[in-house]
Amino acid sequence: MAGRVGRAGVALAVAGSLTALVGCRGGPDVRDDTDDTDVLDSGGVTRAPYPLANVCIEYAAIAAKLVPWDTLRGPLVDRPGESLSDVSVRFTVGQWHLFASRLTVATGRRDVVHLVSVDTTRWSLAEAIDLPTAAGLATPDLTRDDDGRFLLTASEVAADGATPTTWAWRSDDLSTWDAPEAFDPEQGTGLERATSAVTLGHAALGLIAMSTEDSEPWVSVSRTGEIDGLWAPSAAGPSLVLPRFLRLGEGWSVLGSQRAGRGPAISALTGDEDTARGWLSWGAPQPLSIPTQTWNLGVPATGASLCDARGIDGFAYLFFAASDTADFVAGHGVIGLARSRDLLTWELPAAP
């Protein structure tokens, strides 16, 4: 049921281990949850969040063509002269869409790159997401709004001392984008912090924003379901950097980067998702142990995106940014791919 905390999410937090999710089979979530609405605390308003808003793999795919694992080698995406990080991925209408922060080393320009592939072996460059200003962009996150339109958020790379703006773009097809909209998940809360990353979750309660602000994660709730709606006061979220909302089974989780070591970890929602207070209760982050090869020795995995295809080919896939040194610029950040059957044991494709 869309409006209840799933057993898998609760079990993960109680057990304090990813073991609880081993039996949670994923895959395309095309269930019709629109009848499972909940009454909000005030006004008796009901909402039916778009059922695929926070699902990475939207529609059924041919398992052999989704990720031809045996043909992959080394990093998934390696673009000379560019350093990539902060990945957000979605498979829809027969194609993979990968969004990432991009630093063009020669110019120092930062924007959001959009790459497309039918099977993860070859990636073509779509039009980059940028702003008509001197400021750059980073930390993209892709979801859908309640009307089913794609909704991409990214944060402005502001000058030192300036407060960056968070922007949103809407699209029907991931090809043509509306003009960017500025929004602030702290609007009306009386809090002012520097937002460096935002992820959006669509729940029966409203639109949930988790943001990395002043290096700390915070949670906000827009009861209207709109990014420019009235946001409820925020409070601390799980101790993860660059958070990404995701659905594992029936429960809500957040995938992010650990502060120590910067590797990926998952934290499960332990509170009641029907209340604003419930979104403040998260289990301890559980690390994902990703193997290393020569290209990801420096930063094993960060800024990751998880796509659960266990209902299709038996694997969950982790797209992540990595480098051969601790410096993404000097080390030339690339995008890697790992897979797992149980979220506990991960493997990489064959070394290049």
What DSSP letter does each residue of 160-219 carry, written as one string?
TTSPPPEEEEEESSSSSBPPPEEE-TTTTTT----EEEEEEEEETTEEEEEEEETTEEEE
Residue 351 forms part of a structural domain:
no
CA distance 44 to 59: 33
Residue 347 forms part of a structural domain:
no
Q: How many domains does the chain have?
A: 1
Report the range of poorest mean pLDDT among 33-42, 74-83, 126-135, 307-316: 33-42
Return the top range by mean pLDDT from 13-27, 39-53, 72-86, 239-253: 72-86
CA distance 334 to 302: 11
Helix residue spans in 199-309 (DSSP H): none
Report the range of poorest mean pLDDT among 30-44, 81-95, 166-180, 248-262: 30-44
Give this prediction's pTM.
Answer: 0.83
The pLDDT of residue 238:
76
Confidence of residue 109 (pLDDT cuts 50, 70, 90): confident
Mean pLDDT of 73-78: 92
Residue 195 forms part of a structural domain:
yes
Residue 114 forms part of a structural domain:
yes
Inter-CA distances, 45 with 216, 252, 348, Å: 32, 22, 47
The pLDDT of residue 218:
74
The pLDDT of residue 74:
87
CATH of the domain at 242: 2.115.10.20
Confidence of residue 226 (pLDDT cuts 50, 70, 90): confident
Residue 262 forms part of a structural domain:
yes
Residue 125 forms part of a structural domain:
yes
Mean pLDDT of 186-202: 62
* Structural contact between residues 136 and 109, judged by C-beta atoms closer than 8 angstroms: yes
Q: Is it the case that residue 72 has pLDDT exceeding 80?
A: yes
Q: Is it the case that residue 57 has pLDDT exceeding 90?
A: no
Residue 328 structural domain: 7-340
**Percent of the chain's residues with pLDDT above 70:** 70
Give 35 or 87, the one with higher predicted confidence: 87
Mean pLDDT of 143-151: 86
- Kindly report, residue by residue over 299-347, the tens digit of the pLDDT: 766 789 999 999 889 999 999 998 887 766 555 789 999 999 999 999 9
Residue 259 forms part of a structural domain:
yes
CA distance 155 to 167: 6
Residue 270 forms part of a structural domain:
yes
The pLDDT of residue 73:
92
Give 313 or 232, the one with higher predicted confidence: 313
CA distance 349 to 352: 9
Is 274 exposed, middle or buried (CB count within 10 Å of its CB: 0-12, 13-18, 19+)? middle
